[in-house]
Amino acid sequence: MKFYSKQIYLYFTLLFFFFSTGGNAQDRPASFADLAEKLMPSVVNISTTQVITTRNNPFPFEFPPGSPFEDMFRDFGEQQQRRTSALGSGFIIDKDGIVVTNNHVIQGAEDIFVTVNGEKEYEAEIVGADPLSDIAVLKIKSKDKFFPVKFGNSDAARVGDWVIAIGNPFGLGGTVTSGIISARNRSIGLSRYEDYIQTDASINSGNSGGPLFDMNGDVIGINTAILGQSGSIGIGFSIPSNSAKKVIEQLIKFGETKRGWLGVRIQVVTKEIADVENLDEPRGALVVSVADGSPSDKGGIKSGDIILEFDGKRINEMKELPIIVAETDVGSTISVKVWRNKREVSKNITLGRLETSEDFKPQLKTNEKPKLTRIEGLKIDVRALTDNDITSRGLPKSTSGVVIVKIDNDSPVNYLKLGNIIIESQKRNINTPGDLNIVVNSTLKGNEKNILIVIYNNQNQKRYIGVKLD
C-alpha cells in the first residue's frame, strides 16, 4: 500500500510540475524586450491643438443654471480664445511618413504634431479621416525616411494569443504593455461597423490610435476604446487590421471612403421569426425596409426577406452584413441569397455608394420636437423612434418602431408603459406611426378584432402581445 501511495504522489507531483512550469514556458515569451525595441521607432506620439472661443463673465458672481438672467447677460463680456491640447498615439506604415491613428484623436485639430521614437517632433497634415470607422491617416511634413510596420492578418488571431500595445498613455510616450486577446467580434455601440478585438493589454487615455501587435511584430489592431472612464480595467478594444486596411487604402487614395451600399434597413432574426418562417435556425439579417431607388430596390429585394448569404459569404448574425457590404467595391454586382416565403431565392445586386446615399444623411442631428400621432384604435399617442433612442437604450442599430408617449385609461393596452416601443403589428414591421395606424384601422374594418403586436419593454425585452380591439 505504501508503494502505491508513493507512486501516486510521484505522479501528481510530476503532473503539477508539468502544468506549472513546462506547459506555460512553451507559450509565454521569455521577454518582450527585443520585439519592443524593434517596433518602438514605428510608433508615434500625437499631440493636437485647437482654439476654443469663450466669453468672460464681467460680473463678480455666477448666475444659477436655468436663471433667466443667464440668457439675458449671456452676450456681456469680452470674447476670449484659449488653446486646448489633446494627446494620442499612431503608427507609421510607410517610409515617407504615412501615419495611422484614430479619427477622434485629430478631429477638430488645427495643429497636429507627431513625435517619433520619443525624440524628434514633426508637424503633420490630415490625408483623410473617417468618423464611421474612427480611422484617420496623417502625413508627416518631412523628407526624412521613417521605419514602417506592416499589417498582419487579424482574422488569424485567436483568443488567448499574446499581444503587445505601444502608445502614449497620459503623455507617457513609448509605453509598452502586454496581454492576450480576450475575445473577438465585440460590439460596444460606438459605430455602425463594429467587430472589435478585445484585449487585456493595458490601454489608457492617450493610447487611442496606437497599434496592437502580434508576436511577429505585425499590426493586428488599432487601439480605440476602453471599458470604464477611470482608466484601464483590463478590457480594451481594437479595430481589427483586416477591417482597417481597406479604409486606410481608400483614405490614402481618395482622401475619403467609398463604401458599398445596399439600401436596406435590417434587424435581428429571432428564434420566433425563424420558427414562423420555417428557417432552420435564427440566422441572417431580416430586411425591415427597402429604400426607393436603392440597389436592393432595383435588384428585387423586398421587406420581410431574410438575407442569408452575400457574395458567397454566409450571414450568421445581422451585424455581419453591414461590415461585409461596406468592404465590397462600389459598382460591383453581387449575388445575394434571401429567404422568402419559406424558400431560398437568389438576386443579383449592383452596389451603390453609402457616402452619396440617402442613408448617409440621417446622421445629421436636429433639435425639432418630435411629432405625436394619435392611434385611435389603441387609444395611445406615439412618436417616431429616433437614433438617439436607439443609442441611449442600447438597442440594435437596425431597430425600427414607434415610442408610446401617452396611454388612455380605457386603452386596450393600458397595461403597457410609457416608453415601450412597438416594432411589429400583425407580422408587419412598424417603421412610422402611419404604419401602425394603417394596420390597426384595417383590422378594425375587417371581421377580425384581434391583433398581434411586438414591443420592446423598458428593459429592452421583446414581447409578443395579443390585443383585443373594441
Q: What pLDDT does residue 58 have?
A: 57
pLDDT, residue 78, reads 58
Q: How buried is residue 68: exposed, middle or buried, by Cβ count under 10 Å (0-12/13-18/19+)?
A: exposed
Summarize the confidence of residues 154-159 as an average pLDDT. 94
pLDDT at 469 exceeding the cut of 70 = yes
Please name the helix (run of DSSP H) or strand (run of DSSP E) that holds residue 15, with its range, or none: helix 2-17
Instruction: Indicate if 200 belongs to the active site.
Output: no
39-58+70-140: CATH number: 2.40.10.10
What distance lies between CA 381 and its chain's CA centroid? 32
The active-site residue, picked from 154, 178, 208, 289, is 208
Annotated catalytic residue, options 104, 398, 411, 425:
104
- Class of domain 260-360 as given by CATH: mainly beta
Task: Give the closest residue to 168 by CA, choosing from 338, 301, 46.
Answer: 46
Does residue 17 have a pLDDT over 80?
A: no
Name the least confident of 230-239, 243-252, 277-286, 402-411. Answer: 230-239
Per-residue pLDDT tens for 183-195?
Answer: 998 877 777 777 8
Architecture category of domain 366-468 in CATH: Roll (2.30)
| Rounded distance between C-alpha atoms, residue 360 and residue 75, angstroms | 36
Active-site hit among 134, 200, 381, 435 = 134
| 3-state SS class at 20 | helix
Query: To the nearest whole number, what is the mean pLDDT of the chain?
Result: 84
Judged against a pLDDT cut of 50, whether residue 154 lies above it is answered with yes
pLDDT 10s digits, 60-74 = 555 444 444 455 555
**Which residues make Cβ contacts (< 8 Å) with residue 57, sequence separation at least 6?**
76, 77
Active site residue 305: no
Residue pair 98/127 in contact (Cβ under 8 Å)? The answer is: yes
In the chain, CATH 2.30.42.10 sits at 260-360, 366-468
Q: Is 104 a catalytic residue?
A: yes
Angle at 284 between CA 403 and CA 223, to 5 degrees: 80
Cite the residue boundaries of each domain of the chain with CATH code 2.40.10.10. Answer: 39-58+70-140, 154-254
Cα dihedral sign for 231, 34, 135, 162? negative
Which of these ranges, 26-30, 218-222, 310-314, has the smallest mean pLDDT? 26-30
Average pLDDT over residues 211-235: 85
Yes or no: domain 154-254 corresponds to CATH 2.40.10.10: yes
Which of 77-82's residues contact partners 24+ apart within 8 Å by CB, and which partners?
A: 79/53, 79/54, 79/55, 80/53, 80/54, 80/55, 80/56, 81/51, 81/52, 81/53, 81/54, 82/51, 82/52, 82/54
Of the two residues 119 and 231, the one the predictor is more confident about is 119
Whole-number pLDDT of residue 54: 53
pLDDT (average), residues 395-402: 87
Q: pLDDT tens digits, residue range 259-278?
A: 999 999 888 898 888 888 88
Closest CA to 422 of 404, 444, 441: 404
Separation CA 4–CA 13 (nearest Å)? 14
